[in-house]
Structure 1
Amino acid sequence: MSYQVLARKWRPRTFHELVGQEHVQRALINALDQGRLHHAYLFTGTRGVGKTTLARILAKCLNCQDGVSSTPCGQCSTCRDIDEGRFVDLIEVDAASRTKVEDTRELLDNVQYAPSQGRYKVYLIDEVHMLSTHSFNALLKTLEEPPPHVKFLLATTDPQKLPVTVLSRCLQFALKNMPPERIVEYLARVLEAESVSFEEPALWLLGKAAEGSMRDAMSLTDQAIAFGQGQVRHADVAAMLGTLDHRHLLALVEALAEVDAARVLAEIASLAEQGPDFAGVLDDLTGILHRLAIAQMVPDALDNGHGDRETLLALAARFTAEDVQLYYQIGLQGRSDMDSTPEPRTALEMTLLRMLAFRPQGVPKPPQTPLPLRGESTPGAAGESPAAAGADAGSVAPSVASPQAPEPAAGPVEPPEPPVSGPVADESPQAAPRPPWEAVEEAPSQAPMPPETAAAEPRPAPAEDPDYPDPREALASDHGEETRRAAPSRPASADASVPWAGADYSGDEEPGGDMRSEPVPGEAPDPGEAWRDAGETQAPGEPPASEEAVDASSAPEIGDTASPSGEAVAFDHAAWLELFPSLALSGLTRNLAAHCMVGHDDGEALTLHLDPGQAAMNAEVHVERVRKALAAVGIERRVGIESAELPADVETPKSRSDREARERHAQAVEALRGDPHIQELEQAFSARLLEQTVAPQTAQAGTPAAR
C-alpha cells in the first residue's frame, strides 16, 4: 500500500475533529441541528486553514443516510464515498482551471436535475475568485434562487476579488490562521499516534515556520521525519529549515543585558561565519524581546517555545522594563530600514549599537571626573591653599566665568590688587570665587567685562554709572531697549555646572525666572528658604560668602533631621515638594518620583507613596536613583516606593507643576485679552484668540508673558 501523507491522512472528518475555527463550528453545528440551512456558504481564509475540509464535512452532514445532523455516522456508504472523494452528488469544481463562462453554463445546466444518491446536490467551487466576470454574472441568478435540492459551497483565499453581488447572496465565514500553540498541540498528538519520537522545541520551529497553515505544518513534519530518519529533533529541524541556532540569539541578548558593545560585535562576527539571513536574525531578536516583556509583566504567560523559559526569566530580571520596550521599538525601526541598506550585517550592527546608545542609562564611558553635586566642594577647592582661595574670592575668577579658562597653577598664586572702589575682598582661607552674575548683583555699579579683560587685569568701575543701572531694575522693566541691554546676560557655563539645571519632569514648565532664585553650584537649597524673595539682597558692606561657607551653612539644613531641642524631625511632604525641583533626577526616574508623596519617615527609612496609575514604572533601578539623589542633598535614608491611593487634597510634584502651568497659561491669556493691540485686531478684523495656542513664558519681573 502506498504511503499517504500526514496532511491527507489526518484531515478532520467531523466537526469535533476540527482544530480551531470554533466560531465557524458553532454556527454550522447550530444550523444543522436546528434545520436552519442556507443555500450558499462562502468560506474565506489563507491556505491550509480548513476551507475545503469544512465544505466536505458540511456535505457529509447534509447527505448522511442517518439524517441531516452535525454528527454524521461516518460508516454509511455516503460518508465513505465523500471521504474517499467519489460521491456523485458532491461536484467539486476548480475555478482556477474553469474560468470561462461556457464552463459555468455547462455546470448550471445540470442544476435542475435531482441528486442521484444523496439528499442534496452539493456544488463545491474552490478558488471561486478566479472566475471571470461573465461567469459570475451567469451564476448570480442560480446562486440567489437555486432549486431546493441544491447547495453551493464556495471557497476562496481572496474574497476582495469577489463581486459584491456574489457576497450578498452567501453566508460568509472567515477562517482564522492557526496560532503556533494549536499547531504544536496537534502535531504532538499526530506524532504520538504515528509512534514518532520528537522534541517539543522542534515542533515549535515547525509551528512557526508554517505561518498559520495547518497543512503546511503537516507537510513540514513529513519532511522533518524523513530528514531525521524517523525522528523529529530540534537540531535536525533547525538545519532543515535553515534557522539560526537559538543559543546565538540568547548570547546576543545577554550581551545587551551587560551593555557590552564589544561582545555584541563579537557575537555578530561569529554569526556571520554561518552566512545567516541578518534580517531574520533581527526578527528573531525582536521576538525574544517581546517574550522578555511578557516575562517581566506576566511571567506565567511566557511560553516554552524553544525550551528556554527559565533562561528568559533570568534574563528578564537583568533588564528594566523601559529598556526592553526601547530595544523592541529600535529593532522594529531597524528592520524597516534594513531593506534600504547596502550591507545587512552593517544594518544589524548599527541597530544593536543604537539600542545601547539610546538606553536611558546611556553607554558606559571611560572614568571621568564627575560634576560636583550640592553640598560638595570641587576637587580643586579641596587642594587649594588658603592664599589661593583668598585671592580668588576678591575677583571674578576666569575658571568660573568661562569653562575654557585654564586651570590655576598648582603653586601659590599672588593675589591681584583689588579694585579701588569695589568691595573689599575677603582674604580669609574659606573665601571662594563667586559666580559672575552674583558679583554683578552685589555690585550693580560695576560694568560687566569680557572674560579676557577680567582675566588679564581687573578694572575698577565708577561708584555710580548711569549706563549700568541695577540689573534688578533692568529685569523689572518690560519696555525700553536701554534698560534691557543694561541687564547682564547669565553665562551658559553656570547652568552646565548644576546637575539638575534645566530638568523638567512634567513637560509643562520652562526654565527661567528670577536669576537669584536659580541654584548656584555648590550651594544646597533650604526646604524652607529654597527660593528667596525677589527683593532680598545682601547687606551693604557684607563680604561675599565663600563656597565652603555656603556648603557648611546650607547642606545641614536640607538634611537636618533634628530640632533645636535635639529631637528627630521627620522629612514631611511639604519639604519633599520644596526639595523636588533641585533633585538630580531625570527621565523616567524623575517622572516616577513626581507622582509620589511622602508616606512615612522615621529618620532611617523613607517611604514614598506612588499613584497606582504609575505603578508599572516602579522598579528597583528608579528607587536607587531617588535614594542617591536625596543623599546628595543631605537626606540619608533607605528609600522605598509603594503603590497606594493618594489623598485627593494632597499635591504631588507633578500635580503641583500642572496646576502652576495652568495658572501661568490663564495669566498669559488674560494678559493677551487685555492687550490693546489684540483688542484692536479683534474689533477691526473680527479676529479671535486661540487660547490653546498660547504658551506662557517664564516672567522675568513677576509679570506673565506669552508668545
Structure 2
Amino acid sequence: MAYQVLARKWRPQNFHTMVGQEHVLRALVHALDEQRLHHAYLFAGTRGVGKTTIARILARCLNCEEGVSSTPCGVCSSCVEITEGRFVDLIEVDAASRTKVEDTRELLDNVQYAPTRGRFKVYLIDEVHMLSTSSFNALLKTLEEPPPHVKFLLATTDPQKLPITVLSRCLQFNLKNMPAEQVAGHLRHVLTSETIAFAEASLWQLGRAAKGSMRDALSLTDQAIAFCGGDLTESAVNQMLGSIDQGKVVEIVSQLQQGNASELLKLIGELGEQGQDFTGALEDLLSLLHQMAICQVLPEAPVSVQFDRAKVKELAQQTSPADVQLFYQMGIMARKDLELAPDLQAGFEMTLLRMLAFRPQQHAGQMKITEPQTQTQTHTQTHTQTQAQAQAQMPESIIAAEAVVESAAESLVEQAKQVKQVDESAAQGMPVTEMASVPDAPHEEPSVPEAVLVQETAPVQDSPPWEEEPMQAQQPVFNHAHEEQQGEPEPQLEQAAAAEPASAPESESESESESESESESESESEPAVAEGLMPAKSGRDWTLADLTQENWVKVFNDLNLSGMTHGIASNMVFAQRQGTKLQFTLQQGQSSMLNDTHQGRMREALEAMFGCNLELTINIGKTQIETPFANRQRRETEHQQQAIIALENDANVASLTTAFNGQLDTNSVLPVNPIEIET
C-alpha cells in the first residue's frame, strides 16, 4: 500500500478528536444535538487550521445512517464514502478553478432535486472568495432560501472579499491560528503513535515553524522524519529549518548580561558562518527575554520546552528586570528596522550593540546589596563630579550667565521669605512698628542683579511692549516687599488712618462705584481688544461733507457693521458724492460676496450715521486708494516691526544672546499692546 502523508492520515474524523477551534466545535455540537441546523455555514481562517476538515465532519454528521448527531458512527456506508471522498450527495467545488457564472448556474441546476443516497445534499465550496461578482449574484437567491434538503458549507481564507449580501445569509465561524504549545502537543501524540523517536525541543521548533497551521506542522514533521532518518533531534531539526540553536540564544543573553561585546560579536560571526536566519534569531532572543521576565515576576511559572528551565531561571536571577525590559523593547523596535540594514547580520549586530550601549551602568545585584544611605551618598558624589566636569567644559560666558541667574533666584527666594514673614506677623496681630524688630528681616537693601533692579524701578506704563501681563502683575509684589524692608512706616500715615474711621463707609461706597464703573468700561472694551483693535474714541458727529476719500477709513471705523458685511465694506473705497448719491468701488476679488442684502445693510448704516436718506452705488473694479482692510494690514505690519526692533535694541535681550550664543526668533514675536483705530 502506498505511503499516506501524516496530514491526510491524521485528519480528524469527528469533532471530539480535533485539536483546537473549541469555540467553533462547541457551537456546532450543540446545534447538531439540539437539531437547530442552519442552511448555510461559512468557515474563515488561514491555511491549515481545519476549515475543510470541519466541513467534511459536519457533512458526515448530517448524513450518518444512524441519525443526525455530533458523533457520527464512522462505519456506515455514508460515513465511509464521505471519508473516502466518493459520496454522491457531497458535492465539493473548488471555487478557485470554477469562477465563471456558467459554472455556478450549472451547479445550481440540480439543487431542486432530492438527494440520491443521503439525508441532505451538501454543497462544499472551498475558497469561495474566488467566485466572480456574477457568480455571487447567481448564488444569492438559492443561498438565502434553499430547499430543505440542501446545505451549503463555504470555506475561505479571505472573508473580506465576500459581498456583505453573502455574509448576511450565512453563519460565520472564524477559525484561529493554533499556538505552538498546542501544535507541539499534537505532534507528540502523532509521533508516539507512529513509534518515532523525538526530542521535546525538536517538537517545539516544528510547532513554531508551522506558524499556527496544523497541516504545515504535519508536513514539516514528514520532512523532518525523512531528514533525520527516523530520529528527530534538536540539532537536526534546527539544521533542516535553518533556525538557530537555542543554546546559542541563551549564550547571547548571558554575554549581554555580562556586557562582553567581544564574545557577542564572536557568537554572531559563528551564526553567520552557519548561514543562520538572523530574523529568526532575533525572534528567539525575544522569546527568551519574555520567559526571563515571567520568571522574575512568577518564579514558579512554567517555562516553554524551547529553553532549559534551569538556565532560564539562572539568567532571570542574574539580570535585573530593568535590563530585561530594556533589551526586549529594543529587540521589538529592531524587528521592523532589520530589513533596512545593509544585511541581516549587520542589523542583528547593531541591535545587540545598542542593547549594550544603552544598558544602565549599575548592576541589579549591586542595587539590591547597596544600603539606601550609601546609595544616596554615591549618587550625590557622582552628581557633584559630573557637574564639575560639565562646568569645566563650559565657556566662561555661559558660566557667568548661569551665576547671574542663580544669584537672582537666591535673591528672589530671600525676598519671598521676608514677605511671608511680614504677612505672618501681620496676621498674628503684631503692631506695624514691631515689624522692624524681626531679626530675620534686614534693614538694608539686598543685593539683586541689575536686571531685577531694572524691573523693580521701571514703571509699568514704560515697560517694553514684549513684557507679558503676568510679569507686570508680579512687579507690585517685589516692590511691595522692597518697601516693607525699608523700616517703619511714616507716623503721619498712621495718624491719618486713625483720624478717618468715620468717613470710611462713604469712601468705601465711592470706591465701589468707581470700581463698578471701571469694570463696566473694561467689559465694554473687551470685544475690541479680543479682535486686536482698541475701541473707537472719536465720538464726533459725521456729516456728508466729512465723507471724502481721505476720511473714509475713519468713517468706516465708526460704522455699525459686523460679520460679512463688515468684511465687504473694509475692501471698498469712497469714489464720489453727488448730493445724497454715494458711489463706492469694491475690489474685484470681493465681488462674489456682494449682494442686495449686504448693500442694504451698508446703506442703513450710512443713513444712521449721517441722519438722512441716501442712494448707494457700489462699482466693481481696481482700487487705487488704500482700503480700510489694507490700512489695517499696513499698520499691523508696522506695529509688528516696532516690537521686533524694540526687542533687538533691548539690553537684556542683547546680553542673553551674547551669553548663550543665541538668536532672536522674530517669527515668535507678538506685540502686547493692540494697535489703535484711526479716529
Shared fold, TM over 0.5: yes
Tell me if the contact between 1:259 and 1:363 (Cα under 8 Å) persists in the aligned partners.
no
CA distance in 1, matches of 2:128, 2:349: 47
Tell me if the contact between 2:303 and 2:309 (Cα under 8 Å) persists in the aligned partners.
yes
User: Match for 1:150: what amino acid?
Assistant: V
User: Match for 2:320: what amino acid?
Assistant: T
Q: 1:472 to 1:62 in 2, by over 3 A?
A: same
Q: 1:373 to 1:166 in 2, by over 3 A?
A: closer
CA distance in 1, matches of 2:323, 2:382: 34
Residue 18 of structure 2 corresponds to which residue in structure 1? 18
User: Match for 1:131: what amino acid?
Assistant: L
Question: SS at 2:41's partner residue?
Answer: strand
CA distance in 1, matches of 2:139, 2:390: 90
Gapped runs of 5+ residues in structure 1?
365-369, 381-397, 407-434, 445-468, 484-533, 535-674, 689-706
Residue 150 of structure 2 corresponds to which residue in structure 1? 150
Tell me if the contact between 1:294 and 1:302 (Cα under 8 Å) persists in the aligned partners.
no
CA distance in 2, matches of 1:175, 1:402: 66
Residue 249 of structure 2 corresponds to which residue in structure 1? 249
User: Match for 1:132: what amino acid?
Assistant: S
CA distance in 1, matches of 2:29, 2:381: 78
Residue 235 of structure 1 corresponds to which residue in structure 2? 235
Tell me if the contact between 1:681 and 1:687 (Cα under 8 Å) persists in the aligned partners.
no
Percent identity between the aligned chains?
57
CA distance in 2, matches of 1:477, 1:273: 73
Question: Equivalences for 1:339-350 in 2 at 5 Å?
Answer: 339-350=339-350
CA positional deviation for 1:19: 0.6
Tell me if the contact between 1:356 and 1:363 (Cα under 8 Å) persists in the aligned partners.
no
Q: 1:117 to 1:403 in 2, by over 3 A?
A: closer
Question: Equivalences for 1:395-544 in 2 at 5 Å?
Answer: 470-472=446-448, 479=455
Question: SS at 2:355's partner residue?
Answer: helix
CA positional deviation for 1:480: 5.5
CA distance in 1, matches of 2:383, 2:37: 87
Residue 294 of structure 2 corresponds to which residue in structure 1? 294
CA positional deviation for 1:283: 2.2
Residue 282 of structure 1 corresponds to which residue in structure 2? 282
User: Match for 1:471: what amino acid?
Assistant: S
Question: Equivalences for 1:29-178 in 2 at 5 Å?
Answer: 29-178=29-178
Tell me if the contact between 2:49 and 2:213 (Cα under 8 Å) persists in the aligned partners.
yes
| 1:684 pairs with 2:660 | no
Question: SS at 1:169's partner residue?
Answer: coil
CA distance in 2, matches of 1:313, 1:373: 31
CA distance in 2, matches of 1:171, 1:251: 51
CA distance in 1, matches of 2:361, 2:525: 50
Q: 1:378 to 1:224 in 2, by over 3 A?
A: closer
CA distance in 2, matches of 1:300, 1:239: 32
User: Match for 1:684: what amino acid?
Assistant: A
CA distance in 2, matches of 1:272, 1:61: 53
User: Match for 1:168: what amino acid?
Assistant: S
Decide which moves more: 207-216 or 250-259. 250-259
Residue 338 of structure 1 corresponds to which residue in structure 2? 338
User: Match for 1:359: what amino acid?
Assistant: R
Task: Report Cα offsets for 1:385-414 as digits up to 9, x if no partner.
Answer: xxxxxxxxxxxxx999856799xxxxxxxx
CA distance in 1, matches of 2:104, 2:145: 16
CA positional deviation for 1:320: 1.7
Residue 311 of structure 1 corresponds to which residue in structure 2? 311
Question: SS at 2:248's partner residue?
Answer: helix
CA positional deviation for 1:680: 9.8
CA distance in 2, matches of 1:101, 1:404: 80
Q: Please identify which structure carries the higher helix content.
A: 2
| 1:359 pairs with 2:359 | yes
Tell me if the contact between 1:356 and 1:362 (Cα under 8 Å) persists in the aligned partners.
no
Tell me if the contact between 2:404 and 2:449 (Cα under 8 Å) persists in the aligned partners.
no
Q: 1:65 to 1:250 in 2, by over 3 A?
A: same
CA distance in 2, matches of 1:339, 1:375: 44
CA distance in 1, matches of 2:308, 2:79: 46
CA distance in 2, matches of 1:377, 1:73: 79
RMSD: 4.1
Residue 587 of structure 1 corresponds to which residue in structure 2? none
Tell me if the contact between 2:288 and 2:307 (Cα under 8 Å) persists in the aligned partners.
no
User: Match for 1:479: what amino acid?
Assistant: Q
CA positional deviation for 1:235: 1.4
CA positional deviation for 1:262: 2.5
CA positional deviation for 1:336: 1.2
CA distance in 1, matches of 2:183, 2:380: 64
CA positional deviation for 1:300: 3.5
CA distance in 2, matches of 1:377, 1:139: 78
CA positional deviation for 1:229: 1.2
Task: Report Cα offsets for 1:486-530 as digits up to 9, x if no partner.
Answer: xxxxxxxxxxxxxxxxxxxxxxxxxxxxxxxxxxxxxxxxxxxxx
CA distance in 2, matches of 1:276, 1:400: 46
Q: 1:98 to 1:481 in 2, by over 3 A?
A: farther
CA distance in 1, matches of 2:94, 2:27: 26
Question: SS at 2:38's partner residue?
Answer: coil
CA positional deviation for 1:351: 1.4
CA positional deviation for 1:682: 5.4
CA distance in 2, matches of 1:474, 1:681: 37
Question: SS at 1:154's partner residue?
Answer: strand
CA distance in 2, matches of 1:208, 1:399: 52
Task: Report Cα offsets for 1:617-637 as digits up to 9, x if no partner.
Answer: xxxxxxxxxxxxxxxxxxxxx
CA positional deviation for 1:279: 2.5
CA distance in 2, matches of 1:184, 1:275: 26
Q: 1:106 to 1:438 in 2, by over 3 A?
A: closer
Q: 1:476 to 1:197 in 2, by over 3 A?
A: same
Q: 1:687 to 1:48 in 2, by over 3 A?
A: farther
CA positional deviation for 1:16: 0.3
CA distance in 1, matches of 2:51, 2:256: 45
CA positional deviation for 1:122: 0.2
Gapped runs of 5+ residues in structure 2?
365-374, 397-401, 412-444, 460-481, 483-518, 533-671, 673-679
Tell me if the contact between 1:41 and 1:170 (Cα under 8 Å) persists in the aligned partners.
yes
Task: Report Cα offsets for 1:291-343 as digits up to 9, x if no partner.
Answer: 22122123333433224121111101122222211111111212211222223
Question: SS at 1:345's partner residue?
Answer: helix
CA distance in 2, matches of 1:683, 1:345: 66
Question: SS at 1:151's partner residue?
Answer: strand
Question: SS at 1:71's partner residue?
Answer: coil
TM-score normalised over the length of structure 1: 0.55
